[in-house]
Amino acid sequence: MRMSKMYLKTLREAPGDAEIPSHILLLRADMIRKLASGIYGFMPLGWRSLRKIENIIREEMDASGAQEILMSAVQPAELWEESGRWHAYGPELWRIKDRNGRDFCLGPTHEEIFTDIVRNELTSYRHMPQILYQIQHKYRDEARPRFGLMRSREFIMKDAYSFDRDREGLDKSYDAMYDAYTRIFTRCGLTFRPVEADTGAIGGKGSHEFTALSEVGESEIAYCEKCDMAATVEKAECRDCAPDPETVEMLPLEEVYTPGTKTIEEVAGFLGLPKEKTIKALMFETYDDDFNVNGYVAAFVRGDRDLNMIKLVNALDIPEHAIAFANEDKMGPVTGSVGGFTGPVGLHDCTIVVDSELTGLRNMCAGACKADHHMINVNYGRDYKADIVCDLKTLKEGDPCPCCGSPVKHTRGIEVGQVFKLGTKYSVPMGATFKDENQQEHPIVMGCYGIGVTRTLAAVVEQYHDDYGIIWPLSVAPYHVIITLVKPGDQAQRELAEKIYAELTERGAEVLLDDRDERPGVKFNDADLIGIPIRITVGKLAAEGKVEYKLRRESEKAEISADEAVVRALGLIEKEGRG
C-alpha cells in the first residue's frame, strides 16, 4: 500500500475522553473512530489488525474441530422468554421493537439461538459431540461504556457453543476450547493467565477467564506463587479464620454508648478493640422485574473484611442488577436498621446473610440498631441467627491461599475470553433433548466459550506500546514492513524504495510504502505511532544501495544493503508472522 493513496489521518493528540493507552493510541493511529458512546468503527489499519486476530481465532477454532456459522444479531424475544432471560438479563439487554410492536433484542450473546438451532436436530446421542461458533457483532447497553474497545456497547465476539451427551463429553469439549484459547492468545502475543472464574448460581469449577495481564484491566486476580491457585477475586474462595475455642466463655450481651462512631475504625478506636472483634454490616435493597423494591438484605462480615458482592448475589440467587445499597431512611422503619449502627441483633423483616467465620467467633462488637449505640459480647446462635451462612469475604492480598495457605498476591488483567460449562442450564428450559442407546431422553449438556475480539485488539496495544505509539507483534500488525522513503523527489531513493517494495510484496510480505510528500520527521513519527514492526528507511545512502533497517521494538538501527534488509525482513516474517 502506498501511503500517498491511503486513507489515514493520524492525530497528534487524542480526544480528551480517551484515558488509557490503547484507547488513546488506537484513536491517534486512526485505527478506530468513535461514532457514539461505546460505539466504534474501524479504519483501514485497525480493520486489518482485527481481521488478523479473527483469522488466528478461526484457524485455531477450525483446528479444534469447531465449525463456523453466522447467526443474525437480531433475536426474537420469545426465545429469551423461554430461557427466562428476557427479564433476568436486565437493562444491559438492548431491546428493540419492530413496526408491529413485536419485541426483539440485539444479541449480547447467543445461547438461546444456538440451543434453538440444535434442539430439533441433535436428537440422538449419535449426533454429538458438536461445537459451533461464529464471529459477530454483539450488543450490550453497558452502564458505563469506557476505555474505547475495552468496554463498548457494540463489540465483536467469537462465541462458541458445545453440545455433548454427558458431563464427560462436556469436559472434553471444554478442554479442547481451553487449549484452543491458549494457542489463540499466545499467537496474538499476549501475556495472559487462565484463572478460575465465577459461575454464578451454577457453581462448581466450571469456568475460566483468560486474562491479559495489565494495570488498566478491570479484572482483579488473586494468585499464589507457591501453588497454582489463580482465580478472579470475585470467585476466589476465602478461608475462615480459626474459630474461638469452645472454652472462651460467652459473656453477657451488653449495650454500650458509642456516640458518633459510624465506621468500624471509629467504633474499634472508641472501644479500644481490634477490628477483628467487630462485625461490619452492609444493607441492601432488592428489586423485582419492574425495578420496584421487593425486599431488604443485611450482610455481615468481620470488621476487617470486605464483602464480596458476587458471593452475596450468588447466595441470594438473584442477578447482579437486582440489588443495590439500601436507602436506609426507607429500610429503617421496615427492618429496624439504623444507619451506621446496624447489627444483627434485633433486626427483622430482612434476609440476614452472615459470613461463615462469624459463626465461630465469640464476644463480638456489633451495631445495636439504636443511634449512637453498639452491642458488645454478641455471639452467633445465642444472640442472632442467619437466613444464609456462607463465605461472603473478599480474598485480599496477603490473606492465606485457599489451597495451600501461603500469602496470596493480587494482580490486574483484562478479561479477553471466558470458557464456561453451562451444563443443562439452557437445554432443560428450552427442551433440547436427545435419545440415548436405550431410547431414554436426556437434556443436551452444553458449554459456551467467548472471546472479545475487539477487546483483544485493545489488550494487545496495552501490552505493546511505548511513549511514541503502538509496537505491534508481527502476527497482528496491520502491515509487516514500512518503507520510509525520505525524499520522494530523489530518483535514487525512489527507485530503491520501489524495488524493495516490489520484492517484499512479491514474496508475500505486507508492506506500506511511505511515499508521501511530508517531512521525514512526520513520517518517522507516524511509523512509530502506527507501530509497524519492521522499518526500512531509504535515504541518503540509497545511491550506494544501502538502507537503514530498524525494528519498532528495538532501538538499534543497522545500515545494511537493500538486499540484506529484504532477507532479514522476510526471515522475521517467516518466523513470527503467524504468531
Binding to ligand ATP, residues 93-112 (CB under 6 A): 109
List, in order, residues 6 or more apart from 227 with CB less than 8 Å away. 401, 403, 404, 406
Query: Residue 416 interacts with ligand ATP (CB under 6 A)?
Result: yes
**Minimum gap (Å) between residue 109 Cβ and ligand ATP:** 6
- Calculated CA dihedral for residues 382, 388, 389, 394, nearest 10 degrees: -130
Binding to ligand ATP, residues 187-226 (CB under 6 A): none
Query: Residue 75 interacts with ligand ATP (CB under 6 A)?
Result: no
Q: Give the nearer residue to ligand ATP in terms of CB position, either 108 or 344.
A: 108
Helical H runs in 133-276? 167-187, 264-271
Query: Residue 142 interacts with ligand ATP (CB under 6 A)?
Result: yes
Binding to ligand ATP, residues 367-406 (CB under 6 A): none
Nearest to 484 by CA among 526, 452, 455: 526
E strand or H helix at 312: helix 309-316
The answer, yes or no, to whether the previous bond of 129 is cis (omega within 30 of 0) is: yes
**Minimum gap (Å) between residue 90 Cβ and ligand ATP:** 12
- The interface region with ligand ATP, picked from 150-158, 284-292, 373-381, 467-475 by CB under 6 A, is 150-158
Distance in angstroms (rounded) separating the CA atoms of residues 89 and 508: 47
Query: Quick check: 509 and 478 in contact, CB under 8 A?
Result: no
**Minimum gap (Å) between residue 443 Cβ and ligand ATP:** 22
**Minimum gap (Å) between residue 257 Cβ and ligand ATP:** 45
Query: Residue 115 interacts with ligand ATP (CB under 6 A)?
Result: no
Distance in angstroms (rounded) separating the CA atoms of residues 267 and 278: 9
**Minimum gap (Å) between residue 151 Cβ and ligand ATP:** 4
Distance in angstroms (rounded) separating the CA atoms of residues 134 and 69: 5
Question: Of these, 337, 342, 394, 418, which contacts ligand ATP (CB under 6 A)?
Answer: 418
- The interface region with ligand ATP, picked from 15-23, 260-268, 373-381, 451-459 by CB under 6 A, is 451-459
Q: Give the nearer residue to ligand ATP in terms of CB position, either 295 or 417.
A: 417
**Minimum gap (Å) between residue 219 Cβ and ligand ATP:** 7
Query: Residue 480 interacts with ligand ATP (CB under 6 A)?
Result: no
- Counts of helices then strands in the chain (DSSP H, E): 13, 31
Question: Of these, 217, 344, 450, 577, which contacts ligand ATP (CB under 6 A)?
Answer: 450
**Minimum gap (Å) between residue 15 Cβ and ligand ATP:** 19
Q: Give the nearer residue to ligand ATP in terms of CB position, either 141 or 518.
A: 141
Distance in angstroms (rounded) separating the CA atoms of residues 376 and 374: 7
**Minimum gap (Å) between residue 169 Cβ and ligand ATP:** 22
Q: Angle of helix 167-187 relative to helix 44-63, nearest 10 degrees?
A: 140
Query: Quick check: 516 and 486 in contact, CB under 8 A?
Result: no
Q: Give the nearer residue to ligand ATP in terms of CB position, either 112 or 285.
A: 112
Helix (H, G, I), strand (E, B) or coil at 305: coil
Query: Residue 151 interacts with ligand ATP (CB under 6 A)?
Result: yes
Kindly state the number of chain residues that form the binding site for ligand ATP, as judged by CB under 6 A.
15
Question: Of these, 140, 302, 421, 480, which contacts ligand ATP (CB under 6 A)?
Answer: 140
Helix (H, G, I), strand (E, B) or coil at 1: coil
Distance in angstroms (rounded) separating the CA atoms of residues 280 and 258: 15
Query: Residue 417 interacts with ligand ATP (CB under 6 A)?
Result: yes
Question: What DSSP string runs through 504-567?
Answer: HHHTT--EEEE--SS-HHHHHHHHHHHT-SEEEEESGGGGGTEEEEEETT---EEEEEHHHHHH
Q: Give the nearer residue to ligand ATP in terms of CB position, either 18 or 542.
A: 18
**Minimum gap (Å) between residue 197 Cβ and ligand ATP:** 8
Question: Of these, 206, 367, 423, 452, which contacts ligand ATP (CB under 6 A)?
Answer: 452
Nearest to 279 by CA among 358, 380, 369: 358
* 490: amino acid identity, one letter: D
- The interface region with ligand ATP, picked from 27-35, 298-306, 393-401, 412-420 by CB under 6 A, is 412-420
Distance in angstroms (rounded) separating the CA atoms of residues 190 and 473: 9
Query: Residue 463 interacts with ligand ATP (CB under 6 A)?
Result: no
**Minimum gap (Å) between residue 39 Cβ and ligand ATP:** 11
**Minimum gap (Å) between residue 206 Cβ and ligand ATP:** 13
Question: What DSSP string runs through 119-159?
Answer: HTT--BGGG--EEEEEEEEEE---SS-BTTTTB-SEEEEEE
Nearest residue to ligand ATP on Cβ basis: 452
Contacting positions for ligand ATP (CB under 6 A): 109, 140, 142, 151-152, 155, 157, 415-418, 450, 452, 454-455
